[in-house]
């Protein structure tokens, strides 16, 4: 699967356009194509191929899920280079791309081929919808119930046996035997959420993120799957390692604090360690692939386009302040700061001059201030001007 395809297949808005479109979504992508004409042909071709995979019956038998999955694999496989037509590449496609397509089209009976039985063999049986920013975060339970959390900064707590506490004031009951129950917490742009898992691990999810997790960890490992950005404070349990799965990397820990940023539209996946130790492994690395064992205040950056990995010393606090409504940046590309603002405020910001994207800036933003105050500060540190086009669209001059 090409980096171009992966970028859009991991984008819930694109999948909504393909499978569950509406006038607002159509307008968004019409504008996107007008602003990115160089991508139009390839994007429309990908949309056409995925549209052919549309199906109407959400409640599929397992054999039907396998057949649909194989159709998706055959459709995407033609985009692989010859050297990628090996087992590991095939496995990765099933693991990363298919799960995301199923998440968009409903049914979500995803069969994750990991070489052996796993809690993720069929990690959910539910219909997915992408909530709007006004709806707030959405909890999708194992039985397919969509629970609107309403608050832009919501909390979900699984630490109480037999119950899920929402925003500290409402309770959902869970079954006594919840070993196969998988859930998803979907955070639209303009929102954030905090979740306490059944083992007392705490996860902060940033805007535009999604976490897949079990109601109760009953396997030999504690596995969750992350799309977007999350800060983890993992409850220590030497007998049961905690594994965060992303589209390209597995992060394995016992008990620690770390941040992962793995947005589909970003070319780089960043893992930053604050406390403890984690081991990072690339998906499809094979038996001879080596883990990267991190120490505190290190960042491992994986480039999805080139496959290269870089390790550097950082101040981990810079990468976790978003959980407190702050963004701190030190000599980083202007465009990366802008992407954070787009997600936090659920707005669109374009550069009139692409050369402005790569200037490096430093500073700290308090996102509890008004949007206007934040932009005025950025104008000063970047020597640029924000021009408002509409309620949620801006241009940088």
Chosen CATH of 138-318 out of 2.40.50.100, 2.60.40.10, 2.60.120.1440, 3.40.1410.10: 2.60.120.1440
Per-residue confidence (pLDDT) for residue 201, from 0 to 100: 96
Is pTM, for the whole model, over 0.85? no
**N-to-C CA span, the chain:** 36
**Over 90: is that where the pLDDT of 20 sits?**
no
Instruction: Determine the Cα–Cα distance for residues 145 and 326; give it in Å rounded to an integer.
Output: 33
Question: CB of 42 within 8 A of CB of 79?
Answer: no
| Average pLDDT along the chain | 77
Average pLDDT over every residue of 150-155: 86
Angle, helices 62-77/40-51, rounded to nearest 10 degrees = 150
Per-residue confidence (pLDDT) for residue 122, from 0 to 100: 39
Instruction: Determine the Cα–Cα distance for residues 314 and 167; give it in Å rounded to an integer.
Output: 34
Per-residue confidence (pLDDT) for residue 391, from 0 to 100: 85
User: Which residues lie across from 272 on neighbouring strands?
Assistant: 259, 299
Going by C-beta distance under 8 Å and a sequence separation of 6 or more, which residues neighbour residue 327?
321, 337, 340, 344, 364, 365, 367
* 320-355 tens-digit pLDDT: 999 998 988 888 889 889 988 988 888 889 998 888
Per-residue confidence (pLDDT) for residue 140, from 0 to 100: 85
Q: Locate tokens 């991190």: which residue?
A: 294
Question: CB of 271 within 8 A of CB of 314?
Answer: no
Chosen CATH of 325-396 out of 3.55.50.30, 3.40.50.1820, 3.40.50.620, 3.40.50.720: 3.55.50.30
Banded model confidence at residue 49, pLDDT cuts 50, 70, 90: confident
Per-residue confidence (pLDDT) for residue 92, from 0 to 100: 40
- Give me the percent of the chain exceeding a pLDDT of 90: 28
Average pLDDT over every residue of 348-364: 88
Which of 136 and 87 is assigned the larger pLDDT? Answer: 136
Per-residue confidence (pLDDT) for residue 197, from 0 to 100: 95
Which of 16 and 353 is assigned the larger pLDDT? Answer: 353
Average pLDDT over every residue of 348-375: 89
Banded model confidence at residue 91, pLDDT cuts 50, 70, 90: very low
Per-residue confidence (pLDDT) for residue 80, from 0 to 100: 45
Per-residue confidence (pLDDT) for residue 6, from 0 to 100: 64
Which of 302 and 19 is assigned the larger pLDDT? Answer: 302
* Lowest-pLDDT range of 57-66, 68-77, 86-95: 86-95
| Apex 227 CA angle, 221 and 233, nearest 5 | 50
Angle, helices 371-382/334-345, rounded to nearest 10 degrees = 180
**Domain spans, the chain:** 3-105, 138-318, 325-396
Instruction: Determine the Cα–Cα distance for residues 185 and 168; give it in Å rounded to an integer.
Output: 16
Residue whose C-alpha is closest to residue 300's, from 278, 320, 285: 278
Highest mean pLDDT among 72-76, 160-164, 191-195, 353-357: 191-195
């Amino acid at each position: 699967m090409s980096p171009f395809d992966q970028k859009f297949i991991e984008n819930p808005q694109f999948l909504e356009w393909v499978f569950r479109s509406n006038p607002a979504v159509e307008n968004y992508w019409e504008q996107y194509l007008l602003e990115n004409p160089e991508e139009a042909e390839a994007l429309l071709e990908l949309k056409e191929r995925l549209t052919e995979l549309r199906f109407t019956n959400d409640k599929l038998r397992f054999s039907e899920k396998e057949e649909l999955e194989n159709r998706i694999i055959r459709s995407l496989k033609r985009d692989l280079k010859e050297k990628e037509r090996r087992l590991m590449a095939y496995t990765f496609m099933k693991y990363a791309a298919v799960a995301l397509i199923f998440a968009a089209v409903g049914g979500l009976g995803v069969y994750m081929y990991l070489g052996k039985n796993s809690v993720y063999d069929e990690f959910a049986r539910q219909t997915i919808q992408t909530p709007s920013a006004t709806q707030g975060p959405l909890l999708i339970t194992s039985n397919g119930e969509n629970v609107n959390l309403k608050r832009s900064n919501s909390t979900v707590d699984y630490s109480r046996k037999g119950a899920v506490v929402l925003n500290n004031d409402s309770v959902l009951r869970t079954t006594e035997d919840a070993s196969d129950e998988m859930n998803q917490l979907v955070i639209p742009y303009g929102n954030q959420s905090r979740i306490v898992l059944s083992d007392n691990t705490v996860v902060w999810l940033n805007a535009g993120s999604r976490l897949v997790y079990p109601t109760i960890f009953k396997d030999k490992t504690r596995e969750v799957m992350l799309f977007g950005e999350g800060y983890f404070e993992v409850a220590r349990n030497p007998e049961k390692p905690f594994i965060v799965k992303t589209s390209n990397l597995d992060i394995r820990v016992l008990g620690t604090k770390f941040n992962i940023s793995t947005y589909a539209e970003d070319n780089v996946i960043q893992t930053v360690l604050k406390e403890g130790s984690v081991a990072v492994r690339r998906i499809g690395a094979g038996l001879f692939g080596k883990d990267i064992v991190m120490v505190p205040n290190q960042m491992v950056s994986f480039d999805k386009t080139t496959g290269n990995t870089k390790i550097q010393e950082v101040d981990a606090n810079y990468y976790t302040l978003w959980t407190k409504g702050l963004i701190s940046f030190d000599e980083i590309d202007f465009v990366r700061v802008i992407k954070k603002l787009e997600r936090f405020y659920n707005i669109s910001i374009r550069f009139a001059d692409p050369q402005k994207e790569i200037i490096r800036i430093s500073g700290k933003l308090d996102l509890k201030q008004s949007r206007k105050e934040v932009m005025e500060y950025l104008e000063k540190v970047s020597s640029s001007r924000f021009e408002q086009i509409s309620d949620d669209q801006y241009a940088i001059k």
